Structure 1
Amino acid sequence: MDEHISEELRIKLHELARVQEAQPGDLDDEHERWALYLVAIREGLGIAQLFDVLPLEPDLAMASSAVVNLVERSAPEERRVWLSRIPQEARDHPEKRVAELETVDAVLRGELRADHVAGDLDSWSDWLQLRITGRVEDPAVLRILAERGRTKRIRRQAEEALTGDESHEI
């Protein structure tokens, strides 16, 4: 759905494109804007400009998606700052992702013991289970995910991490 964007957003998008050394194209087209956002998100080119652009983005689903991508790549103390850049009505999914990332952080720090993980596992999303199996080193947590992970992929990834862990202990 192409719609006209504000002049303020257009100016900020041109600045984002300049920092990225890109030609901005038709900025009324959300695909053109998303291309600029992805470069900022994935390559870090124009993060400060993206910070200023997001509150002006009229496509709330796109703004929400950008924030989800950003919080996944941000330090824990920066995640909620990114949430604040979009309207409250666009925050549901990004807030859930921040909460999931906080769970990952707690598991990695050893603050969530295996029995707690076992109790909460059924309420965890596939994304969260996969993220933990790809990062955690606690064999007890990996065993739970290898046995009870929601999908074959989660169980296999946990088993591979567990096998890799045990081979290093020999």
Structure 2
Amino acid sequence: MNEEISEELRGKLIELARLQGGEAGELTDEHERWALYRVAIDDGIGVTELFDLISLEPDSALASSVVVHMVERSAPEERRLWVARLPAEVQGSAQVRVAELETVDMLCSGGFPHDQVADSLAGWSTWLQLRIIAFVQDTHVLRILAEQGRTKRVRRQATEATHVSARSTR
């Protein structure tokens, strides 16, 4: 689906493509814009420019997807700045992702009491549980996920991570 884009967005996308060493392509095509956004997201080329232009993106689903990806890669103090680039009515999924990342941060820092992990688990998405396994080294938390995780994959990966974490603390 090709959408009209503003001249301001067109200019910023052309600059983003130039920074990335490529051609801008057909910028009314959201797939072409997504390709430019992915380079900024994955390779970090043009992140500042992406931040400046994402509020101009006419495809709200595309803009939301970009912001969700960026909050996963941003420092905690920058996450909400990315969310604020979206119109209020499409901030929901990005706000959820920020809250999930804050949970991971609290678990990593020891700021989330162990006795609340099992009680909170039912409300945690599979994505969050997998992210916890990838970043949290607390064997108590990992054991809870190994026993009560949402999916077989979560339970298996948490079991494996528990063994790795236990070996590294010896």
Q: TM-score, normalised by structure 2?
A: 0.97
User: How many Å apart are 1:165 and its aligned residue?
Assistant: 1.8
- After superposition, residues 49-68 of structure 1 pair within 5 angstroms as 49-68=49-68
**What letter matches 2:158 in structure 1?**
A
Quote how far apart the aligned CAs of 1:137 are: 1.1
- Secondary structure (helix, strand or coil) at the match of 1:137 reads coil
| Aligned mates of 1:168, 1:97 — CA distance in 2 | 30
Tell whether the 8 Å contact from 1:12 to 1:49 is kept in structure 2 after alignment.
yes
Q: After TM superposition, give the deviation of residue 30 of structure 1 in Å.
A: 0.2
Paired residues of 1:118 and 1:144 also in contact (CA < 8 A):
yes
Alignment of 1:1-170 (within 5 A): 1-170=1-170
Q: Indicate how the Cα distance of structure 1 residues 169 and 5 shifts in structure 2: closer, same or farther if over 3 A, else same.
A: closer
Residue identity in the other structure for 2:61: A
The aligned length equals: 170
In the aligned structure 1, how far is the partner of 2:70 from the partner of 2:24? 21
Name which of structure 1's ranges 44-53 and 146-155 shifts more when overlaid on structure 2: 44-53
Gaps of 5+ in 1: none
Cα displacement (A) at 1:112: 0.8
1:91-138 Cα distance to aligned partner (Å, 9 max, x none): 100000000000000001011122111110000000000000111111
CA shift, 1:167, in A, is 2.3
- Counterpart CA distance in 2 for 1:63 and 1:121 is 30
- Distance across 2 between alignment mates of 1:166 and 1:81: 37
Cα distance in 1, alignment partners of residues 169 and 47 from structure 2: 41
Distance in 1 (CA, whole Å) between partners of 2:169 and 2:11 is: 57
| TM-fit CA distance, 1:3 | 1.2
Q: Could you tell me how far 1:90 is from its partner in structure 2?
A: 1.4
3-state SS, counterpart of residue 23 of structure 1: coil
Following superposition, the deviation at residue 83 of structure 1 comes to: 0.7
Task: Tell whether the 8 Å contact from 1:114 to 1:144 is kept in structure 2 after alignment.
Answer: no
Query: Gaps (5+ residues) in structure 2?
Result: none
Q: In the aligned structure 2, how far is the partner of 1:37 from the partner of 1:77?
A: 22
Distance 1:142 1:48 in 2: 36
The C-alpha deviation readout for 1:65-108, integer Å capped at 9, x for no partner, is 00000000000000011111111111100000000000000001
Q: Percent of aligned positions with the same letter in both sequences?
A: 59
Looking at structure 1, the residues matched to 120 and 11 of structure 2 have their Cα atoms a distance apart, in angstroms, of 46
